[in-house]
Amino acid sequence: MANCAHCDTFILLGGKTDQTGRYCNERCQQAGNLLAVSQQIPRAELDRQLHEIYSGNCPKCGGPGPVDVHKSHQVWSALIVTSSSSKTALSCKSCASKRQLGAILFCSVFGWWGFPWGIGMTPLQIARNIGELAGGPQPGRPSPLLEKVVRMQAADRFVREPRRPFPKSEPPPLPSSVTASAARPDNDERYMPKAAKG
């Protein structure tokens, strides 16, 4: 019994284990291995890439930054079925606010129709979206979430370019199934830094 080395989920049975730790599934293992590889990349290079993304234009609307990783939370339910999710996206604050307001509207319309979880999860997800709207990444500096995404993307580039020398010793070997998908913000916040889950 242990916690996942990447997302801190409790592992009762199964999981994936390698030299970098024990993981709850292959996706977490890929993300954990990319973070291990990122330790081989000079801090100055990571800082350069972080500043480039943070100070760049929004990938959603093309407008000026700062650009960071923002979260939105949804829930829908029908009778005895309830599904909730937390999504992350790289964007400016304006685009993130529109997405979070859309998620509040989605929850308000589709969240209440299941018993008992829909009734319980809907106000929770709405509150989480309001919290993201009011808070989110601190202005003036990149969030730890963005830094983690940059580290994973930088490591992914090194993995895909094996002829490019690493600045230190060789990185730890990776499972052959490591893919670029683990290096991008997506619909599962378990692959982002530890955060409260609803």
Dump pLDDT digits (tens) for 55-79.
Answer: 999 999 999 989 999 999 999 999 8
The residues facing 86 across adjacent strands are 73
* Cα–Cα dist 193/117, whole Å: 26
Ramachandran bin of 57, using left for φ above 0, alpha for ψ from -120 to 50, beta for the remaining angles: beta
Q: Is this model's pTM higher than 0.75 or not?
A: no
Dump pLDDT digits (tens) for 10-51.
Answer: 777 777 888 888 888 888 888 888 888 888 888 898 999 999
